[in-house]
Amino acid sequence: MSLVKKRRKTRQISIGKVNIGSDAPISVQSMTNTDTRDVDTTVTQIRLLEKAGCEIIRVAVPDMDAALAIEKIKTRISIPLVADIHFDYRLALASAKAGAEALRINPGNIGAAHKVKAVVDCAADHGIPIRIGVNAGSLEKRIEQRLGTTAEAMVESALQNIETLENLNFYRIKVSLKASDVPRTVSAYRLLADKTDVPFHVGVTEAGGLYAGITKSAIGIGMLLSEGLGDTLRVSLTRDPVEEVRTGYEILRALGIRNRGPELISCPTCGRCKIDLFKIARDTEKALLERTSRIKVAIMGCAVNGPGEAKEADIGIAGGDGKAILFKKGRVIRKMDPENLVDELLEEIDNMMTNSEEINGKKD
C-alpha cells in the first residue's frame, strides 16, 4: 500500500538534461560548499556528488570570478549546474553566459524591476529556467512588515514573483519556499499548491547538523512528498553535501518513491547479540555505498530472530556464538567465520549482483 498521494499536477521544466515536474522522477540535488572560484576543488566535490547520485548541482556565485569559473567547471562535470545568485543581478547574467543551466534568484534581494527584467530576458535568451527561491529569512520588506515571516508571507512573495516573471512571458519557473522549521515550510507549500502549477523544489533550509538536519528534512520533505507535493528536493545539512544526497535518496526510498542503490537493514542489537554488530554494520554500509545495484542486505545480531525478521532481505548475516550464518531470503545458506564476515558477505553480494535474477530489481 502506498503512503504517497497522487502527485500534484505541474508544468514541466528542464534543467539541462533533467526534467522537473509533471511525471518526471523527483530529482535529488545538492549544493557545493567549496569556493566556486577554486575550480579544481569544486569539480572534485561535484564528481563525488555525481557518484553519490546527485542529479543537479548548485554553486554559489558571490562575485564575478565565481560566475566566470562556471565555464571551466562545466567542461569537467556531467550533471547540470544551477548558479545561486543573491543581490547582484549582473552575476546572474554572467553565470548564464558562462553556461549555467538554471539560475536561482531570491527576488526579495535582487532589487529594482529593471534588474529582474534583465535576468529574465537573459534566461529566456539562453533557454534556461529560473528558480524563485523564497526564504522566510529574506522576504521583501513590504511583505514582511505586513505578514511577518509566516507561511502566508512566503506564499505571497512567491505568487508576486511568479506573476512578475509570467508578465514578462517567462514560464520556465520552479519555486522553493524554505523556512528553517517544518511547520512553516510544510504550510507554505500546502498553501501555494493549488494557486500555481509551477513545479516545487522542496527542502527545509538551515535544517542543522546530522541529527536535527536529517530529522527535520525527513519529516518536512517526507510530509510534502507523501501529499504529492515536490518535484525536486534538496536536503540541507551542515555536513558534507554527499550526505545530503544520500539522505535525499533514503527519504525517497522510505516513501517507496525511488529506490537507488543497495538498502541496508540492521537490528539495534540486544542482549542476544554476541558479535560486534555496530562495526560490521558500519563497514558493510560503507562498502555498499560503492555499489549501485538494488539489493536489500540485512545485518542481524543473532540467529534466533535474525533470518526470520529479515526474510524480505535478498541476503543477510546473523551473528551466533563463535560462528555467524549467511542467509538469503530468510533461508540459511551456510555458517561463516566471524573474522572475515564483511568480506565474505560482500563477495556474495557481488556474485548476486552479476546474477541479478536473485535480486528484486536493478538500478534506479
Which positions lie near ligand SF4, rule CB under 6 A?
Answer: 267-270, 272-273, 300-302, 304-306, 309
Q: With respect to ligand SF4, which residue has the nearer C-beta, 85 or 267?
A: 267
Q: With respect to ligand SF4, which residue has the nearer C-beta, 159 or 299?
A: 299
Name the strand (E) or helix (H) holding 286.
helix 277-288
CB count in 10 Å sphere of residue 337: 10
- Three-state secondary-structure class, residue 107: helix
Q: How far is the CB of 270 from ligand SF4 (least distance, A)?
A: 3
Q: With respect to ligand SF4, which residue has the nearer C-beta, 203 or 301?
A: 301
Q: How far is the CB of 266 from ligand SF4 (least distance, A)?
A: 8
Q: With respect to ligand SF4, which residue has the nearer C-beta, 133 or 301?
A: 301
Q: How far is the CB of 273 from ligand SF4 (least distance, A)?
A: 4
What is each CA distance from 1 to 8, 219, 228, in whole angstroms? Answer: 19, 20, 15
**Neighbouring residues of 240: CB distance < 8 A, sequence distance ≥ 6:** none
The span from the first CA to the last CA of the chain, in angstroms, equals 20
Residues 247 and 220 sit within 8 Å (Cβ to Cβ): no
Q: How far is the CB of 340 from ligand SF4 (least distance, A)?
A: 21
Instruction: Give the CA-trace dihedral at 267, 271, 273, 275, to 10 degrees.
Output: 120
Q: How far is the CB of 295 from ligand SF4 (least distance, A)?
A: 20
d(CA 337, CA 11): 56
Q: Is residue 90 exposed (0-12), middle (13-18) or buried (19+ Cβ within 10 Å)?
A: middle
Q: How far is the CB of 360 from ligand SF4 (least distance, A)?
A: 22
Q: With respect to ligand SF4, which residue has the nearer C-beta, 71 or 309?
A: 309
Q: With respect to ligand SF4, which residue has the nearer C-beta, 273 or 315?
A: 273
Q: With respect to ligand SF4, which residue has the nearer C-beta, 210 or 304?
A: 304
Residues 319 and 307 sit within 8 Å (Cβ to Cβ): no
d(CA 21, CA 152): 23
Q: How far is the CB of 159 from ligand SF4 (least distance, A)?
A: 51
Q: How far is the CB of 321 from ligand SF4 (least distance, A)?
A: 12
Q: With respect to ligand SF4, which residue has the nearer C-beta, 1 or 270?
A: 270
d(CA 48, CA 41): 11
d(CA 310, CA 229): 32
d(CA 118, CA 103): 13
Q: How far is the CB of 362 from ligand SF4 (least distance, A)?
A: 29
Instruction: Give the CA-trace dihedral at 342, 345, 349, 351, to 10 degrees.
Output: 120
Quickly list H helices, 127-230: 141-147, 151-167, 182-193, 210-226
d(CA 276, CA 344): 16
Q: With respect to ligand SF4, which residue has the nearer C-beta, 268 or 354?
A: 268
d(CA 81, CA 192): 26
Residue nearest to ligand SF4 (CB): 301
